Amino acid sequence: MKKKSRLLMLVGALLPLFLFVFPLWNITLEAPQYPTPLGMDIYINDFADMHPHDIKNINLMNHYVGMKYIPESIPEFKIFPAVIMIMAALGVILAFKTNYKWFLGWFIIMTILALAGIYDFYLWEHDYGHDLDPKAIMKFTNPDGTVMGFQPPLFGTKDILNFRAHSYPQLGAYFLAVGMALTFISYFVGKREKNFKRL
């Protein structure tokens, strides 16, 4: 009967590996002059075009307000995959070798890491949207006189000048979330299994 919690833990720890197949996040920009919106899929280790050449065209468009080009790569693309691999491996070991209490520990660590990742994403977006080239062709200010930023939303939909920016998790993120939920459940299943055994 102990198998059920271990199986949940095992599956839960392995599901985040789908991040290597499916995108984690997507940012899409809609505007009247782009009937087919421009979009960028963010993978655990890469930025990818939603349609061919989208990132190139986002860069071209963004340079008018002085935003930096979206880099080919960022350090996170090395760190995040390593974190996911290590956590998955750790989860597998826990599933086979330890008792259910460790499952909760894995979940808590993973949650902290995920929050850290989201915060890092926010910082990157903030920098990207606010650290503008002082020689920018076009300068816009907010109603209060401060320099307008062009930060896309962390989550949700936001209007930026003539664009409507959408920022939403993608399939990879859902696998991560479901995986984490399973590990959380595995803790309670393990606990019940233990009590059941005692009875």
Partner 1 sequence: MKRISQILFITAVLSLVITGCADISKDKKTTNGALGSNAAEKVYVAPGEHDEFYAFVSGGFSGQLSVYGLPSGRLFKVIPVFSQDAEKAWGYNEETKPMLNTSYGFVPWDDSHHPDISQTNGEVDGRWVFINGNNTPRIARIDLSTFETTEIIEVPNSAGNHSSSFVTENTEYVVAGTRFSVPVPQEDIAIKEYKGKFKGAVSFISVDPDHGNMDLAFQILLPGFNYDLAHPGRGASHGWFFFTTYNTEEANSLLEVNASQNDKDFIAAINWKKAEEYIKQGKFKTMPANYAHNVYDEKTHTATSIMKKEVKVLDPAECPGLVYFLPTPKSPHGCDVDPSGEYIVGNGKLSADLTVHSFSKMIKAIENKQFDGDAYGIPIIKFEDALAGVVSQAGLGPLHTEFDGKGNGYTTFFISSEVVKWKLGSWEVIDRKPTYYSVGHLMIPGGNSRKPFGKYALAMNKITKDRYLPTGPEVTQSAQLYDITGEKMELLLDFPTIGEPHYAAGIPADLIKPRSKKIYKLEENEHKYGVKNNEDVKVVRNGKEVHVYMTMIRSHFTPDNIEGIKVGDKVYFHVTNLEQDYDVPHGVSMIGANTSELLIMPGQTETFIWEPKQVGVWPFYCTDFCSALHQEMQGYVRVSPASSDIELSWSLGED
Q: Quick one: 163 or 184, whose CB is closer to partner 1?
A: 163
What residues contact residue 181 under an 8 Å CB cut-off, 6+ apart?
Answer: 12
Q: Quick one: 51 or 101, whose CB is closer to partner 1?
A: 51
Nearest distance, CB of residue 92 and partner 1, angstroms: 41
Nearest distance, CB of residue 64 and partner 1, angstroms: 7
Q: Quick one: 57 or 98, whose CB is closer to partner 1?
A: 57
**CA–CA distances in Å: residue 54 to residues 28, 47, 50, 88:** 10, 11, 6, 32
H or E element at residue 36: strand 34-42
Nearest distance, CB of residue 120 and partner 1, angstroms: 30
Nearest distance, CB of residue 57 and partner 1, angstroms: 5
What residues contact residue 122 under an 8 Å CB cut-off, 6+ apart?
Answer: 154
Q: Quick one: 67 or 182, whose CB is closer to partner 1?
A: 67
Site string for partner 1, 87-116 (x = CB under 8 A): ------------------------------
Nearest distance, CB of residue 177 and partner 1, angstroms: 35
| C-alpha span between 125 and 127 (Å, rounded) | 5
Nearest distance, CB of residue 34 and partner 1, angstroms: 9
* Residue 165: strand pairing partners: 29, 158
Site string for partner 1, 34-73 (x = CB under 8 A): --x---------------xx--xx--x---x---------
Number of residues that bind partner 1 (CB under 8 A): 9
Q: Is 156 left (phi over 0), alpha (psi -120 to 50) or beta?
A: left
Residue 195 burial class via C-beta count within 10 angstroms: exposed 0-12, middle 13-18, buried 19 and up: exposed
Quick one: CA torsion of 28, 153, 44, 181, rounded to 10 degrees? -110
Measure CA 175 to chain center: 11
Q: Quick one: 137 or 199, whose CB is closer to partner 1?
A: 137
Q: Report 117-156 residues binding partner 1 (CB under 8 A).
A: 137-138
Q: What are the residues binding partner 1 (CB under 8 A)?
A: 36, 52-53, 56-57, 60, 64, 137-138
